[in-house]
Amino acid sequence: MNPLSFTTSDVSAALGTPVSAVEVLELFEASTATVARLLVRRSGAPDVTVIAKLARGTDAAAARREVQIFEQLAPRWDHPAPEVLGVHDSGDAVLLLTEDLTAAGYRVVGADVTDDQLRGAVDVLASLHALFWNDVADVPALGASVTSSAQAWPPEVIAHHAAAVRAEANVFFAETSELSPSERAVLDTVLPAWERQFRARVAAGEHLTLVHGDFHVLGNIFFTDHDPRPKVIDWSELKPGLGPHDLAYALSALPARQPDAEDLLRYYWKALNAPDYSWDLCAWDFRFSVISNLFQSVFQHSVKWYRAALTTMDTLNSLRTLTEPPPAAR
pLDDT tens column, 98-146: 999 999 999 999 999 999 999 999 999 999 999 999 988 766 666 556 6
Res 156: pLDDT: 86
pLDDT at 150 over 70: yes
Res 73: pLDDT: 86
Query: Which is more confident, 280 or 237?
Result: 280
Compute the distance between CA of residue 109 and CA of residue 107 in angstroms, rounded to an integer: 6
For the segment 198-214, the average pLDDT, to the nearest whole number, is 93
Q: What are phi and psi of 158, to 5 degrees?
A: -65, -45
Query: Which is more confident, 152 or 244?
Result: 244
Q: pTM for this structure?
A: 0.92
Q: What is the 3-state secondary structure (H, E, C) of 129-154?
A: HHHCCCCCCCCCCCCCCCCCCCCCCC
CB under 8 Å to 106, separation ≥6 — which residues?
222, 223, 224, 230, 231
Res 146: pLDDT: 65
Compute the distance between CA of residue 167 and CA of residue 198 in angstroms, rounded to an integer: 19
Pairing outcome for strands 34-42 and 21-28: antiparallel
Compute the distance between CA of residue 284 and CA of residue 168 in angstroms, rounded to an integer: 27
Res 16: pLDDT: 93
For the segment 150-174, the average pLDDT, to the nearest whole number, is 90
Residue 293 and residue 252 in contact, taking contact as beta carbons nearer than 8 Å: yes
Query: Which is more confident, 22 or 69?
Result: 22
Domains and CATH numbers, the chain: 3-99 (3.30.200.20), 110-322 (3.90.1200.10)
For the segment 80-90, the average pLDDT, to the nearest whole number, is 94
Res 271: pLDDT: 97
Question: In 3D, which of 46, 49, 38 has the Cα closest to residue 10?
Answer: 38
Res 120: pLDDT: 96
Res 29: pLDDT: 80
Res 3: pLDDT: 41
pLDDT at 159 over 70: yes
For the segment 82-95, the average pLDDT, to the nearest whole number, is 93
Grade residue 75 by pLDDT with cuts at 50, 70 and 90: confident
Question: In 3D, which of 52, 45, 7, 48 has the Cα closest to residue 28?
Answer: 52
pLDDT at 45 over 90: no
Query: Which is more confident, 30 or 181?
Result: 181
The mean pLDDT of the chain is 91
pLDDT at 1 over 50: no
Is-cis flag, bond preceding 82, omega within 30? Answer: no
Over residues 264-279, the pLDDT tens digits come to: 999 999 999 999 999 9
